[in-house]
């Protein structure tokens, strides 16, 4: 990508911001919290390997596996 005078001077960035409209949105602080949980190193390696092979983030796979297992346990208790 060739560098032009507008990119170097920042004028192009200013024009971009001048053309944008303000957006209003709400953020729910409870929507997504992160928790630190100690995992066995070998277990983490296995989860990472499986997540990578499926094209998932490790966090996503952990959430999926926990959800599935909790549903199984809850159905046995009920």
Tens digits of residue pLDDT in 8-59: 555 666 777 777 888 887 877 777 778 899 999 999 999 999 999 999 999 9
**pTM of the predicted model, to two decimals?**
0.58
Say what the pLDDT of residue 38 is. Answer: 95
> Which residue carries 């303000």 as its tokens?
22
Domain boundaries, the chain: 37-78
73 CA to centre of own chain: 27
What percentage of the chain's residues is helix, strand, coil (to nearest 5)? 60, 0, 40
For residue 10, the model assigns a pLDDT of 59
Q: Retrieve residue 69's tokens.
A: 């297992």
């Amino acid at each position: 990508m060739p560098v032009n005078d507008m990119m170097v001077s920042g004028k192009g960035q200013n024009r971009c911001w001048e053309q944008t409209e303000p957006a209003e949105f709400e953020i729910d602080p409870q929507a997504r919290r992160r928790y630190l949980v100690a995992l066995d190193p070998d277990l983490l390696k296995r989860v990472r390997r499986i997540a990578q092979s499926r094209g998932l983030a490790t966090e996503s796979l952990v959430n999926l596996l926990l959800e599935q297992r909790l549903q199984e346990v809850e159905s046995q208790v009920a």
